[in-house]
Amino acid sequence: MADSRAVNGRLSGRRRKRPSAADKIYPMLLVAFGCICLTVTGSWHVYTDPLLGGGRKLFDAFSASVSLWSDSHSPAEDAEDADSSGGQQNSPQGGESPGAEEAPDDQQNTQPDGSQNEQPDEPDTGREDETEPEEPKGVSYQTVEDDYFADAVFIGDSRTVGLFEYGGLEETGTFYASTGLTVHKLFTNKIVPVPGQKKKKITVEEALSQNQFAKVYLMIGINEMGTGTPESFLEKYAECVKHIQELQPDAVIYLQSIMSVTGERSEQGDYITNEGIDIRNEGIAAMADNERIFYLDVNEAVCDETGAMIPDYTHDGVHLKAQYISLWKDYLKCHAVALDDSP
């Protein structure tokens, strides 16, 4: 670019004068605006975190780079590791419920009982009893047609958006889904468009209290994996289910398993792993009471024998390609619960 000529030392060499204020103004503006920006967005922790808590992190990064040959992952990942492990104690996002997380203190995450004791107001009937004999009791499923979903609502993240767009249920079912949705924001994000009003959107909570459904399908949980622990997630998830039940007392609630990712994606080295998904799914499965709340292991439809999503079905390892969404939908159609009281 022609500007490079000006940047080059020649120009400044020609004018042999002391640097005027005009030459310093941009760096100064940058610093000034930076202070404003960091203050307004409350992001000073970017600097303070490494200074206060992360002296250790810097040291880690340093010692890691000194031992060049010791292992193979990059310091960026180190930083993330430090983040996610530290996240249990002091991450800003997880800060809302750290007390509740640390209190149980047992990391055998497969037992939701520990976290259940944390919530005395969780009177789901006979849940403890149900967890063990869930399989023997059995639920009878029937196969249904698309119109089964006419009085169903699907709640979820971008994967449910995919089901909405390519499942062929656009007209039939109702979808309260949005990319990036988490259990933490499930009821507070304004994601449901109001029919008739173009721009206005309301929260899922409002939408659920305005409309009644016979079936609620919920698949959520992949976006939460970067923050908190399985316990904190399951706790929040249980709260959400309970609240949905309050809002939709007559509905059958289907808790769909969090869909696994491909083996490649799982081993990519960030927070999304199939192990993490499995732990959460076990917890979700335990929430089913098989009376009004049922657990559907959607992974049966899209995973291979190792429990990972089949690579051909996806581009990014997380979302099903449009043409394979039907596998998921067909699974749901084959797993409609035959309730005793239903005709």
Residues that bind other proteins (CB under 8 A): 1-9, 11-13, 19, 22-27, 29-30, 32-34, 36-37, 41, 43, 46-47, 61, 64-65, 68, 72, 74-76, 157-159, 162, 165-166, 168, 179-180, 222-223, 226, 314-316, 318-319, 321-326
Buried b / exposed e over 226-260, threshold 16 CB at 10 Å, is bbbbbbbbbbbbbbbbbebbebbeebbbbbbbbbb
* For other proteins, the closer CB: 142 or 179: 179
Distance between CA 208 and CA 246 in Å, rounded? 10
Radius of gyration (C-alpha) of the chain in whole angstroms: 25
CB of 7 to other proteins, least distance (A): 3
* For other proteins, the closer CB: 112 or 226: 226
Q: Kindly tell me the sign of the dihedral angle through the C-alpha atoms of 66, 70, 73, 78.
A: negative
Q: Where are the alpha helices (DSSP H) in the chain?
A: 3-7, 9-14, 21-40, 45-52, 55-66, 75-90, 98-102, 113-118, 127-131, 134-137, 158-166, 204-210, 230-247, 263-266, 274-286, 299-302, 325-334
* For other proteins, the closer CB: 30 or 338: 30
CB of 146 to other proteins, least distance (A): 14
User: Which H or E run includes 267?
Assistant: none
CB of 19 to other proteins, least distance (A): 4
CB of 168 to other proteins, least distance (A): 8
* For other proteins, the closer CB: 104 or 156: 156
CB of 181 to other proteins, least distance (A): 9
What's phi and psi for 12, nearest 5 deg?
A: -70, -25
User: Which H or E run includes 216?
Assistant: strand 215-219
As given in the structure block, the two tokens for residue 301 are 């439809």
* For other proteins, the closer CB: 213 or 313: 313
Residues comprising the chain, all counted: 343
CB of 180 to other proteins, least distance (A): 3
Residue type, 137: K
* For other proteins, the closer CB: 104 or 276: 276
CB of 209 to other proteins, least distance (A): 26
* For other proteins, the closer CB: 13 or 123: 13
C-alpha neighbours within 13 Å on the C-beta side of residue 245: 20
Chain center to CA of 255: 15
